[in-house]
Amino acid sequence: MSSNFNYSITFPCLNSLDYTKKLIGSMLENEEDMSKVVAVNNGSTDSTEKYLKSIKHLNVITNKKNYGFGVPLNQGAMMLQTEWTIFMNNDVIVSKDWIEGLLSAAEKNNLKVISPAMIEESYDYDINEHSNKAKFLFDGYVRNDDAHAVCIAIHESVLFDIGFFRPTPSLFGYEDKIFLNELRKNNIKTGITSSSWIHHYGSVTQKAMKEKIGILNKSDLSSNSHSKILCENFLFRKYLKYSSKRKRKKSVNYEINHYGMSLIGRRLDSKFIWSNIY
């Protein structure tokens, strides 16, 4: 369904065609304007390119190689250059009116960076049914000072102020953390809204890109090299991590006590599990 906002959506994909089909299928089912969507084929060797070009009005960028995560996100944003850019993974299912709910909440709460609420792992439920129930219960609630890179809407003013995602393939798996850290350093308010819901299968494309680019979990940049990249010492990073987890746990406890669920959940064995880990 069309939104009155000036926005675009961009996502990278590397093989994992089944998940890309599920994402686009959910968009088509909700009658999204595909002319506002940019899919960046990041060196796929399967039938991804053929499929993307078969979708009417979808904008497609084709990279001959896997350039990690930051490069294709920036390419997608620059193609349409809208007031709002929604950056997301391809292993996602969207719910009805998720864009309107996401950007309306940003405007109402004076936020320039906002993420939708999210359920991860098994998709054996109706996302629209869950979304409708949750939106009624939460009644516009926003978890302030939090966001996730699975799906994040960013206002153009933020990109001009702090820059885009780091276009360095060897940083794969860490570009989003660098960007979120820049938001914190620049005191840019963020939020997760209950007015928009998505389902996330679990970093399928990120794992595929990481494997292809040759970065193993044991040598990932989520190690002590954080301090060098972020120009922050190790102890300060430990303090930030502890502080963030404590604040998130407080938010989750508040949400469960007041609403019976939280804005980030998991689906396991046909049950919803609410936690502060993501």
Q: What is the pLDDT of residue 136?
A: 97
Phi first, then psi, for residue 257 (nearest 5°) are -65, -35
Joined tokens for residue 110: 């004076």
* Distant-in-sequence, close-in-space partners of 14: CB < 8 Å, separation ≥ 6: 41, 42, 43, 44, 48, 66, 205, 208, 209, 212
Sign of torsion, CA 201 204 206 207? positive
What are the structural domains, with CATH classification, of the chain? 7-274 (3.90.550.10)
pTM of structure = 0.88
Q: Rounded mean pLDDT of 39-50?
A: 96
Rounded Cα distance, 80 and 178, in Å: 24
3-state helix, strand, coil in the chain (%, to 5): 45, 25, 35
Q: What is the pLDDT of residue 245?
A: 85
Q: What is the pLDDT of residue 168?
A: 80
Residue position matching structure tokens 């993307």: 52
SS3 209: helix
Sign of torsion, CA 245 191 181 62? positive
Lowest-confidence region among 19-28, 35-44, 55-64, 202-211: 202-211
pLDDT above 60: residue 158? yes
Q: How many helices (H) and strands (E) does the chain have?
A: 10, 11
For residue 262, give Cα distances in angstroms to 61, 90, 128, 198.
Answer: 36, 23, 17, 13
